[in-house]
Chain A
Amino acid sequence: MVSSARTLERDLALRRRYRKERFMMGLVGLGTGLAFLVLFLVLAYALAQGASALNLDLFLKDMRPPGETGGGLRQAIVGTLIVDGLGLLIALPFGLAAGILLAEYPDHPINPYLRLLSDTLNGMPAILFGLLAFILIVKPMGGFSGLSGAFALGFLMIPILARSTEGVLSLVPKEIREAGLALGLPRWRVILSLVLPTARAGLITGVLLAFARAAGEAAPLLFTAFGSPLLELNPMKPMDTLPLRLFAFAISPYEDWHRQAWAAGLVLFGLITLTSLLARWASRRRF
């Protein structure tokens, strides 16, 4: 009965392989669950803790000194928008130009270096951009300021913008450029009047994502924007932002501030989610 023994052997081997298949599938499923475990826990706690502290005052009033309950985060919300917005203004020309150069002038001798530096700067610790802004802006100006924070975030956004712009422009069909050149348009007109408008939706998405990324940063602002307990609209003065305020509240010993820290987390997370949703919406829409 040689053949049946061989069949049995093959059968056993097959079963072993199927067992292994099921086992590995189980591991993959388990690992996937584990990967998202902390995310779920963090979001659940932020919602549970932050929701009770959410109210209208949060958006309309400035923070209160320790010991007094109530108050809000107006100064931090406004500050986040100002510092982040100024940062974007600083970063836009440099990031866009680098992206256009990478995508529209593929043979430019500087491109390999530009791409390499953008990629490495993209992975640089955010706090180093803060150090650079401290040395370049805070020291000469003689004090912390919203503007120096904007520079720190701007530095951070430049490489992100460069790479996203390049990615979006490379998706624009070659025919559009050829059509423009065939009509006798100079190249700069082709880029400004044909390529960029075609890619507008994608460009807006990239800008919004860079904004969202910078909005969550606290590290580079610790010693640039520095924070302020009252609403400050002058960028030459220290300014508050949500991540900074959250950090200060979280490491404070006051119960009420801890509650407000969760609320700040929720507002910050809401702001970032809103921006990302806008970005997603923009990428689908034709402008």
Chain B
Amino acid sequence: MKRLYTHFGDRIFAWALLFLALGVVALALLMAWELYQGGSLALRRFGLWGFALGTEWDPVIQKSFGAWPYILGTLIVSLSALFLSFFPALAAAIFAAEYAPRWLAQTINFLLDLMAAVPSVVYGLWGIFVLAPWIRDRVQLPLYMWAAEQAPWLLPFLGVPTGYGLMTAVLILSAMIVPFTAALARDAIALVPKEHREAAYALGATRWEVMRMAVLPLARGGIIAGAFLALARAVGETMAVTMVIGNSHKLPYTLFGGAATMPSVIANEFTEAVEDLHLSALIAVGFLLFWVSMGVNLAAVYILRRQERLVKGVL
């Protein structure tokens, strides 16, 4: 650091700031290290790949732990939720940034804030008492009845119609991550210079054509970053998912059946884990979750930084 200030108090102040700010760095390093340490018993027993790709999770009889059902569950749930929520979120962003009158745009922004502020457990509560019974009665049971008569071979793939499973979790999760995509997409669209729009309008383009040809291509980075951020949230979302996904140890092989995700298995079993190996296996799941989420977040940050440079370059 170039020393611009020689005042004694300045040096002490700067060092004190640095010391405290290093807490952020320490937090990240500690998390990586302690999760690795805590999970090392399970990781050593089964090997990293054996643990990550093992499909048997049996804390009681065989005492064998493989995290693959949860990794797969996390991938399916979070990617499907992202897929379901992306276009509605993008539509809300386009509407708020471009077409809505001022008061309506402000209302949408307020709703996005509200949506992000509703606690996960409240979404879960709604899932348990409203969405899951609805899916059971209106979707699963009719499907089950139909399959029983017309296509009995389908039955094993439908699972027991309880309402708690992948589908319910995906639906709730897709609503929960809308604000993350929408807010970043809205900001990216609002940052596109006015001249770009005006040039396209001057050529006689319709509003949609302006959007598609002049605005969206420039805002693309921000929109994609928003999707990655939403994905990161979906990967780590715990309570709502735990409450409705059915918490099954088996590989998720049906859309409606029970499953589990990495965070949900930790939330569900952690206080019940009495044996060291079980506890260690759960922390090892956390260790894997840390790196998955780190990867997705880094991608989002990288895309966003590149986007910022791009827009600055245009201006």
A interface vs B, CB < 8 Å?
A: 17-18, 20-21, 24-25, 27-32, 34-39, 41-43, 45-46, 49, 93-94, 96-98, 100-101, 105, 107-110, 113-114, 116-129, 131-132, 134-136, 155, 158-159, 162, 186-189, 191, 212-213, 215-219, 222-223, 226, 243, 246-247, 250-251, 258, 261-262, 265, 268-269, 272-273, 276
Contact = CB atoms under 8 A, between A and B. Distances in A.
Given A124-B297, A243-B121, A97 B17 contact: yes
A188 to B, nearest CB: 4
Contacts of A121: 24, 27-28
A45 B126 contact: yes
Given A124-B236, A136-B30, A218 B21 contact: no
Interface of B: 1-2, 5, 7, 9-10, 12-14, 16-25, 27-28, 30-31, 34-35, 37-38, 85, 87-92, 94-96, 99, 108, 111, 113-115, 117-126, 128-130, 171-172, 175, 178, 182, 206-209, 211, 229, 232-233, 235-239, 243, 263, 266-267, 270-271, 283, 286, 289-290, 293-294, 296-298, 300-301
A3 B31 CA distance: 74
Given A25-B207, A187-B5, A120 B118 contact: no
A1 to B, nearest CB: 25
22 contacts: A17-B209, A24-B211, A28-B91, A28-B99, A29-B91, A31-B88, A39-B175, A98-B24, A110-B25, A114-B21, A117-B25, A124-B294, A127-B263, A128-B289, A132-B30, A132-B34, A187-B10, A188-B12, A247-B243, A250-B121, A250-B124, A269-B119
A42 B123 contact: yes
B214 to A, nearest CB: 14
Contacts of B208: 20-21, 24-25
A38 B24 contact: no
A17 B204 CA distance: 11
Give chain B's interface secondary structure class: helix
Given A121-B24, A131-B38, A217-B119, A42 B126 contact: yes
A187 B95 contact: no
Contacts of B283: 131, 135
B91 A272 contact: no
Contacts of A107: 1-2
A272 B24 contact: no
B94 to A, nearest CB: 5
A128 B290 contact: yes
A120 B301 contact: yes
Given A125-B238, A189-B9, A216-B121, 18 more contacts: A27-B91, A38-B123, A97-B16, A120-B294, A123-B232, A124-B31, A126-B238, A128-B35, A132-B30, A134-B270, A188-B7, A213-B117, A216-B120, A218-B121, A222-B267, A250-B128, A265-B122, A269-B119
Nearest to B296: A123
B27 A155 contact: yes
B178 to A, nearest CB: 5
Contact of A21 (B2, B91, B207): B207
Contact of B238 (A108, A127, A265): A127
Nearest to B171: A38
Contact of A39 (B114, B206, B235, B286): B114
A158 B232 contact: no
B1 A243 contact: no
B121 A246 contact: yes
Contact of B18 (A29, A101, A136, A265): A101
Contacts, number: 274
Complex A-B, nearest 6 residue pairs according to Cβ-Cβ distance, in ascending order: A125-B236, A31-B91, A216-B119, A97-B20, A38-B175, A188-B13
Contacts of B290: 124, 128
B239 A35 contact: no
B118 A191 contact: no
Contacts of A94: 20-21, 23-24, 27
Nearest to B25: A117
A36 B270 CA distance: 34
Contact of A276 (B113, B209, B237): B113
B138 to A, nearest CB: 14
B117 A276 contact: yes
Given A25-B207, A45-B130, A114-B25, A31 B270 contact: no
A162 B24 contact: yes
Given A113-B25, A250-B124, A250-B243, A42 B118 contact: yes
Contacts of B7: 186-188
A117 B121 contact: no
Contacts of B38: 131, 135
A27 B298 CA distance: 32
Given A17-B209, A117-B24, A187-B13, A32 B108 contact: yes
B62 to A, nearest CB: 25
A219 B92 CA distance: 29
A122 B27 CA distance: 12
B10 A247 contact: no
